[in-house]
Amino acid sequence: MTIRLGYQIPSFSYPGVAPGGIFGTVARQARDAEAAGFDTVLVMDHMYQLPAIAPVEEPMLEAYATLAALARETRTVQLSTLVTGNTYRNPALLAKTVTTLDVISGGRAVLGLGAGWFAREHEDYGFAFGTWTDRFARLDEALQIIGPMLRGERPTVDGAWYRTRDAINNPRLRPTVPIMLGGSGEQRTFRLSARYADHHNINCYRPDLSHKLSVLRRRCAEIGRDPDTLTTSFLTRAVVTETAAEASRIMAELPETWAPITIAGTPDHLASVLHDEVLAHGVDGVIISLIRNGHEPGVVTSAGEALRPLISRT
């Protein structure tokens, strides 16, 4: 399993669009992405909008209901979260949910998964948050349930966090649903990916990518796994503009922490940066999050048309 060219939808706030029109705008982006050559469409798994993007009160659709609806709006793209918060759902129920998405979509689901991090969502919704150590222990234990259930096994687990007894997961369409872990933690996250994942998405500063890939490969080698069996992608925020001057203005307006992880410019500029600073390091694919204007007609199409040739020749 791999993601060569993914399109993440990070926002459901669309100027002039009432709540009843939100999903229509989401669906159009997904269809445009599919037509433009993206192989995967992804949504965030949150209850609130991320404060770094917009106020938490801004619209946020539930991820798996949205993906199930997108399964009926598209025909070929893989569908995933980037990434599911493990703390939000019982792992056996999550395995059932993503397997159902796979059946609905005709075998296009990918389970994106992470430890969870947004404390306010947990506090407001009543989810246990715990420490950083707690969340990674829970993720490890959850994967011991989820992986077998995705493969049609019937796990019995009596763990510190979760319990199952001969848990059945039917119907299933494929031998398994691919698992993608997301993150850049070299000690915990990378080790979990080496043990459990089919694909790993890295979110880091572009200059750090080569080092991250090297460490991820080392984590695979440490447990005797062929690193080439764990495919990779890189997440980048991007803003498509018509001119370099417009790109410079937008970059100057971004929060200080965003500038190193954002690319602004024409579609060709975006392709050039991703080729030279991302794909050149050996990552298998890219996922772009068009944070400011992906919902505008034509933007996803222009980005996909510029990036598709880049991906096809790597």
CATH number, domain of 141, equals: 3.20.20.30
More confident residue, 54 or 96: 96
Binned at pLDDT 50, 70 and 90, residue 117 comes out as very high
CB atoms within 10 A of CB 283: 22
What is the extent of the structural domain holding 22?
5-33+41-312
Give the model's pLDDT for residue 313.
Answer: 58
Domain count, the chain: 1
Q: What's the pLDDT at 259?
A: 78
Q: Which of 13, 9, 66 is nearest to 299 (CA)?
A: 9
> Measured between alpha carbons, how far is 11 from 290 in angstroms, rounded to an integer?
9
**Mean pLDDT score across all residues of the chain:** 96
pLDDT-based confidence at 35, cuts 50/70/90?
very high
**pLDDT tens digits, 172-198:** 999 999 999 999 999 999 999 999 999
In whole angstroms, give the CA distance from residue 278 to residue 276: 6
Number of neighbouring beta carbons within 10 Å of residue 58: 14
- Is the confidence at residue 34, as pLDDT, over 60? yes
Amino acid at the residue 300: V
Mean pLDDT, rounded, for 255-268: 88
DSSP-derived letter for residue 39 is S
| pLDDT classification of 311: cutoffs 50, 70, 90 | confident
